[in-house]
């Protein structure tokens, strides 16, 4: 699995575990909902700036975001 898919899968997992919709996440991160969808599907090459925005919106640190078996 490539890194875009791993990051997208991680975002979706955290988002769903917090009971957030893509729309809720997009609003909180000041990003477009279609952008969130394409990132979760591994179709976007997301910047570290947007990863940080999403992590903040999900209320997780970057360390916690990347502290997953998917990234080890």
Tens of pLDDT along the chain (72 residues) come to: 799 999 999 999 999 999 999 999 999 999 999 999 999 999 999 999 999 999 999 999 999 999 988 887
- At residue 44, the pLDDT reads 93
Report pTM: 0.93
Q: What CATH number does the domain located at 3-58 have?
A: 1.10.260.40
- At residue 8, the pLDDT reads 97
- At residue 72, the pLDDT reads 73
Radius of gyration of the chain (CA): 11
Distance, CA of 71 to CA of 69 (rounded, Å): 5
């Amino acid at each position: 699995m490539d890194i875009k898919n791993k990051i997208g899968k991680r975002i979706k997992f955290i988002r769903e575990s917090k009971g957030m919709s893509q729309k809720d996440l997009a609003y909180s991160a000041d990003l477009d909902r279609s952008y969130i969808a394409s990132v979760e599907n591994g179709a976007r090459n997301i910047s570290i700036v947007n990863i940080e925005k999403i992590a903040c919106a999900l209320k997780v640190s970057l360390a916690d975001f990347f502290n997953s078996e998917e990234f080890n």
